[in-house]
Structure 1
Amino acid sequence: MKTLSKAFQKHGIDRNTVVSTASVAELAIAAPLVYQELISNKPSGETVLHFAKRCEEEIQGNDEMKNKIESMKADGTLLPIRRGKSV
């Protein structure tokens, strides 16, 4: 696939769903220990979207982590998913 949009369309995945939950994968890959701590304290019944928001808060609250994620996006380790605010 040449673009993410075409890949999402081919597989019938809504781009907004991917964008709104990308922080889960980004945190799991860039900071696995932080991710493990969050997931181990995940309340029963918490939605994926709410968990993704908690992951995003962790990322946004740590400049070093934000920079690492941006670097990983730049080198192709992470997909270049962009949200309304920079991560």
Structure 2
Amino acid sequence: MLELRPNCECCNTDLPAESPDAMICSFECTFCRDCGEGRLKGICPNCGGGLVTRPVRPASKLLKYPASTKRVFKAEGCAAAE
């Protein structure tokens, strides 16, 4: 099950579980759409995999399977994709 991390690793923008602007790679590294499509050009800076829109978990399932509250943030920012 996806963790649904609560923020962008690059800019620390909040990304609620229902956000259509969250993007993830296959390792669940999480980025906002601005960073994912802009600075990172659709490539995860951690693993080199592609970034896709994170699925939204139905609200009725969030009660039993809540989103993660653990924030992952790189204070130094993320390197731009080349």
Q: TM-score, normalised by structure 1?
A: 0.24
Higher relative contact order (CA 8 A, sep 6+): 2
Q: TM-score, normalised by structure 2?
A: 0.24
Q: Which has the larger radius of gyration?
A: 1
Q: Name the structure where strand makes up a greater proportion of residues.
A: 2
